Amino acid sequence: MRGRSFGVVLFCLGATAAFAQPGQPWMNTALSPDSRADILRQQMTRDEELILVDGFLGVAYQPGFHEPIPAWMKPLLPVSAGYVPGIARLGIPALTESDASLGVANGGNMRPGDTAVALPSSLLTTATFSPTLAFEGGAMVGREARAKGFNVMLAGGVNLAREPRGGRTFEYAGEDAWLAGVMVGESIKGIQSQGIISTAKHFALNDQETARTVMSVTIDEAEARESDYLAFELALERGDPGAIMCSYNRIKNVYACENPNLLTDMLRSDWGYKGFVLSDWGAVHSTVAAATAGLDQESANGSDRSDFFGNALRDAIVAGQVPESRLHVMVHRILRTMFAKGLFDRPVVKGPIDVYGDLAVAQRDAEEGIVLLKNAPAKNGSALLPLNATKRQKIAVIGSFADKGVLSGGGSSQVHGIGHTESMVVSLGGGTKVIDGRRWQLPQDKAVLHATAPLAEIRKLAPKAKVTFVSSSAIAAAVAEAKKSDVAIVFAWQYMHEGVDVIDLALPGNQNELIAAVAAANPNTIVILETGGPVTMPWLDRVSGVVEAWYPGNGGAAAIARILFGEVNPSGKLPVTFPMAESQLPHPIITGQRPDGRIIPTSGSPTAYDVIYQEGARAGYRWFDDQKLTPLFPFGYGLSYTTFSYENLKLLGASTIKAEFDVKNTGTVAGKTVAQVYVKPPFGPSRLIGFQKVDLAPGETRHVTLYADQRLIAMFDADANLWRVADGDYVVRLGSSATDKAAVATVHVNAGTVKP
Ligand code: NOJ
């Protein structure tokens, strides 16, 4: 608790319960949020303004914080990531901040009984390719946040998954800017539909965890505009988040949270953003540079080296180093956002959560984002999936924690889901691994499982089957059980955690060996993957089925079982490319990775950890296209229990591209697919320019029309600061993945420019 007295804190905590009064002029809802903020700001003293720009570390995380606080007050304190006191005199509510990438996080200091519904990982939600589901998941988080007394959700992770080994790949929305922008924008919109604020984060280029606090990322400005920055630009336009969180890293040697090019030139001047910029936890390194570059609020000052926006900002204003008018702007942005998003007019009130309603949202999400990657026996024969639920058969469930629950990713986004008990915490990792002659120390982590258990859900759906379970450590026992069974279902995991990247894309431990051994014992082997992102599959040609279930959340086990038995027809598509091997990636080894696999400490020399994206905008499938590499599974890929055709592609080109076509369900069961349109412009690799998920009965045809956002077919001209569309012929591909060519046609587009 640096720079604050408890007297001040207790005064402020009182303010959490204080609501604004209807008679106060700034409570006139007929006025715009900006006018209301102006009126209110003028009532504030400088010290009150300073309170709003200087956040606390979430009180429950603060060592020793609870000691002087009377027992009766403890339950009133938010258990959260961050807290900005309100001002009771003026009825300004406190900002109560919780992480919320995959549900309302309750990781660090769980209160007994404080569970939340765990959504699937954001990557799974993105794999639904359904903006509607992204919105519904967001709205669910927003409802639970209100019920738990939070009014700021630290959500909206939209960093591109350009590094598939990135420890937070599961928290992000894949490798494509358009897909990520649309899906994260919708999720933010959903959260904010509940009258609270959502952030978008981590602005910008914090695409790997290794060295995240010290690395300096270098990328060509124009290429960043066409990739990572574009994802933020689109998410901001679509979701209008109240706040944006600047990231830990440096960009061309300037910390993101004191980077005027990022926080002012691009964010304000080019994009016209009106919300406020808050810092990541520990990402502030200065007072004057940060305040003048565009940081509006220091988060959780207890996690920065010093309290940069407390007394230090007051001193800088008094000394004339930061103009007082800058403080007014910071406060204006915070207040106008609180008005705009509903914090004054619809204060959060604690109450129960709708467990069953919210679980249904999580399960729907999982059912549409789980991806069927393979459904063909090694040797001829018909597809093994879906399994027949009414048959008397022997099913061996093998591996992982299938008898307990499904895996979740770790870090600040951690949710302890509904049904959590101590036995749902399992130890993973540890040990060493030799890669290219170097011995790596693997981090030891405690992973949290979510109820319910796939084993129980499988037994529920197949009452006539004899379903047995063998854990992954016992390969010989698993092989013996597989031999005696009609079908073997192997559950495999890859654990990801904020703060550390995975060393490679291999399934950890003995899992590859286990799968190969089981597949050799029983040709009807199905692998269910619970992974944060892509993994390699050396056993792929020996198994009959592969289902990518990601981290599927509280509804995940039921969703997996329903897909296995055909109650749900899979419709998820990959939002990331699955490489054959790490050698296919732009960075075969993650820049700056240390042999102990741990994050490099903040005190390291910045130049030692330059991360150079020489691949520029060619992240993910664009890289594979550009380098003519064949991946294991391409971006956009995913199978169904039915088949689809894509026909009658008609294109219209002028200033942008309009594509019209028909999608038909040519199989015998109802199903959903995602029609995807890619363009290869005259100057570079392919880009996704539109997608639509369609739900079709057998034999049904749907006509789809898509218009490309002009920026998706343009190049950014950094000198002129505008987008340029080149005159020329553009090759358009329609199909069901980044490499599918169901229909191909060419269209002429006229030269043009677009202002950012
Ligand atoms: C650091 C993480 O990078 C960020 O995503 C999170 O919101 C904060 N910690 C608060 O927990």
Compute the distance between CA of residue 690 and CA of residue 708 in angstroms, rounded to an integer. 6
For 111-171, give the secondary structure using H, E and C.
Answer: CCCCCCCCCCCHHHHHHCCCHHHHHHHHHHHHHHHHHCCCCEEECCECCCCCCCCCCCHHH
Compute, in angstroms, the gap from residue 82 CA to the centroid of ligand 1: 9
Question: How many helices (H) and strands (E) would you count in the chain?
Answer: 18, 32
On whether the CB atoms of residues 555 and 363 are closer than 8 A, the answer is yes
What residue's CA is closest to ligand 1, atom 4?
A: 280
Mean pLDDT of the 740-750 span: 97
Inter-axis angle of helices 355-369 and 556-564, to 10 degrees? 50
Does the domain at residues 636-754 carry the CATH identifier 2.60.40.10? yes
> Which atom of ligand 1 sits closest to the CA of residue 248?
3
- At 465 the pLDDT is 98
On whether the CB atoms of residues 326 and 297 are closer than 8 A, the answer is no
On whether the CB atoms of residues 473 and 509 are closer than 8 A, the answer is no
Given a cut of 60, is residue 601 above it in pLDDT?
no
The region that residue 130 occupies, defined by phi over 0 for left and psi between -120 and 50 for alpha, beta otherwise, is beta
Q: Provide φ and ψ at 361, rounded to 5°.
A: -65, -45
β-strands 444-450, 406-407: how paired? antiparallel
Compute the distance between CA of residue 75 and CA of residue 670 in angstroms, rounded to an integer. 50
Compute, in angstroms, the gap from residue 648 CA to the centroid of ligand 1: 47
Using 50, 70 and 90 to split pLDDT, how confident is the model at 434?
confident
What residue's CA is closest to ligand 1, atom 10?
A: 81
Given a cut of 60, is residue 322 above it in pLDDT?
yes
| DSSP character string of 16-48 | GG----TTSGGG-TTS-HHHHHHHHHTT--HHH
Using 50, 70 and 90 to split pLDDT, how confident is the model at 203?
very high
What residue's CA is closest to ligand 1, atom 8?
A: 281
Compute, in angstroms, the gap from residue 412 CA to the centroid of ligand 1: 6
The residue type of 531 is: T
- At 110 the pLDDT is 57
- Residue 349 tokens read as 């009130």
> Which atom of ligand 1 sits closest to the CA of residue 82?
10
On whether the CB atoms of residues 499 and 248 are closer than 8 A, the answer is no
Compute the distance between CA of residue 142 and CA of residue 123 in angstroms, rounded to an integer. 19
What residue's CA is closest to ligand 1, atom 1?
A: 281
Kindly state the DSSP code that residue 711 receives in the 8-state scheme: G
The residue with greater pLDDT, 138 or 381, is 138
- At 1 the pLDDT is 30
Whether the bond into 386 is cis, omega within 30 of 0: yes
CA-based nearest residue to 212, from 601, 477, 642: 601
Compute, in angstroms, the gap from residue 71 CA to the centroid of ligand 1: 28
Using 50, 70 and 90 to split pLDDT, how confident is the model at 431?
confident
Q: What angle do CA 434, 440, 444 make, to 5 degrees?
A: 120
- Residue 597 tokens read as 């696999």
CA-based nearest residue to 173, from 189, 190, 156, 152: 156
Within 6 A (CB) of ligand 1 lie 81, 99, 154, 201-202, 280-281, 412
> Which atom of ligand 1 sits closest to the CA of residue 199?
7
* Candidate from 154, 301, 415 with most ligand 1 atoms within 8 A of CB, to mutate: 154
- At 60 the pLDDT is 52
On whether the CB atoms of residues 209 and 356 are closer than 8 A, the answer is no
Mean pLDDT of the 656-674 span: 98
Compute the distance between CA of residue 395 and CA of residue 383 in angstroms, rounded to an integer. 17
CA-based nearest residue to 615, from 588, 645, 652, 576: 588
> Which atom of ligand 1 sits closest to the CA of residue 412?
11
pTM above 0.75, yes or no: yes
- At 239 the pLDDT is 98
Mean pLDDT of the 369-388 span: 88
Kindly state the DSSP code that residue 477 receives in the 8-state scheme: H
Handedness of CA 212, 213, 214, 219 (dihedral sign): positive
- At 708 the pLDDT is 98
CA-based nearest residue to 551, from 187, 169, 201, 210: 169
Given a cut of 90, is residue 702 above it in pLDDT?
yes
On whether the CB atoms of residues 583 and 591 are closer than 8 A, the answer is no
Compute, in angstroms, the gap from residue 476 CA to the centroid of ligand 1: 43
- At 512 the pLDDT is 97
pLDDT in tens, 324-343: 999 999 999 999 999 999 99
Compute, in angstroms, the gap from residue 705 CA to the centroid of ligand 1: 39
Given a cut of 50, is residue 724 above it in pLDDT?
yes
**Four-point Cα dihedral 366, 368, 373, 376, nearest 10:** 110
- Residue 617 tokens read as 């905008």
Sequence-distant (≥ 6) Cβ neighbours of residue 610 within 8 angstroms: 215, 216, 218, 591
Percent of the chain with pLDDT over 70: 91
- At 545 the pLDDT is 97
Q: Which of 125-139, 345-359, 428-442, 563-577 has the lowest mean pLDDT?
A: 428-442
Given a cut of 80, is residue 604 above it in pLDDT?
no
Please state, as a whole number, how many other Cβ atoms lie within 10 Å of the Cβ of residue 7. Answer: 8
* Candidate from 80, 299, 498, 602 with most ligand 1 atoms within 8 A of CB, to mutate: 498
CA-based nearest residue to 63, from 308, 301, 302: 302
- Would you say the CATH fold of 636-754 matches that of 15-340? no
Query: What's the order of all strands across the beta sheet hosting 444-450?
Result: 406-407, 444-450, 425-429
> Which atom of ligand 1 sits closest to the CA of residue 99?
7
pLDDT in tens, 462-513: 999 999 999 877 899 999 999 999 999 999 999 999 988 888 999 999 999 9
Using 50, 70 and 90 to split pLDDT, how confident is the model at 603?
very low
Compute, in angstroms, the gap from residue 649 CA to the centroid of ligand 1: 45
* Candidate from 61, 99, 158, 298 with most ligand 1 atoms within 8 A of CB, to mutate: 99
The residue with greater pLDDT, 106 or 601, is 106
- At 177 the pLDDT is 98
pLDDT in tens, 511-540: 999 999 999 999 999 999 999 999 999 999
* Candidate from 245, 248, 299, 496 with most ligand 1 atoms within 8 A of CB, to mutate: 245
Compute, in angstroms, the gap from residue 411 CA to the centroid of ligand 1: 8
Compute the distance between CA of residue 750 and CA of residue 449 in angstroms, rounded to an integer. 53
Compute, in angstroms, the gap from residue 106 CA to the centroid of ligand 1: 13
Domain range 15-340, CATH architecture: Alpha-Beta Barrel (3.20)
**Four-point Cα dihedral 638, 641, 647, 653, nearest 10:** -30
- Residue 652 tokens read as 């219209």
Averaged pLDDT score across all residues of the chain? 91
Compute, in angstroms, the gap from residue 154 CA to the centroid of ligand 1: 7
Tell me which residue has tokens 């319960």: 17
Mean pLDDT of the 568-591 span: 96
Compute, in angstroms, the gap from residue 322 CA to the centroid of ligand 1: 27
The residue type of 377 is: P
- At 716 the pLDDT is 97
- At 618 the pLDDT is 97
Compute the distance between CA of residue 528 and CA of residue 383 in angstroms, rounded to an integer. 16
Sequence-distant (≥ 6) Cβ neighbours of residue 258 within 8 angstroms: 284, 285, 286, 289, 290, 293, 295
Given a cut of 90, is residue 727 above it in pLDDT?
yes
Mean pLDDT of the 92-112 span: 83
Indicate the domain borders of the chain.
15-340, 365-568, 636-754
Residue 288, classed as helix, strand or coil, is helix
Compute, in angstroms, the gap from residue 96 CA to the centroid of ligand 1: 14
CA-based nearest residue to 365, from 554, 196, 177, 546: 554
Mean pLDDT of the 66-86 span: 61
Mean pLDDT of the 180-195 span: 98
* Candidate from 205, 213, 281 with most ligand 1 atoms within 8 A of CB, to mutate: 281
- At 71 the pLDDT is 53
Does the domain at residues 365-568 carry the CATH identifier 1.10.3720.10? no
Compute the distance between CA of residue 464 and CA of residue 457 in angstroms, rounded to an integer. 13
Q: Which of 4-13, 137-146, 290-299 has the lowest mean pLDDT?
A: 4-13
Compute, in angstroms, the gap from residue 144 CA to the centroid of ligand 1: 19
Using 50, 70 and 90 to split pLDDT, how confident is the model at 428?
confident
β-strands 610-612, 216-218: how paired? parallel
Residue 751, classed as helix, strand or coil, is coil
pLDDT in tens, 206-228: 999 988 888 899 999 999 999 99
pLDDT in tens, 640-650: 999 999 999 99
CA-based nearest residue to 315, from 284, 291, 282, 281: 291
β-strands 545-548, 525-531: how paired? parallel
Kindly state the DSSP code that residue 101 receives in the 8-state scheme: B
On whether the CB atoms of residues 56 and 301 are closer than 8 A, the answer is yes
Please state, as a whole number, how many other Cβ atoms lie within 10 Å of the Cβ of residue 326. Answer: 17
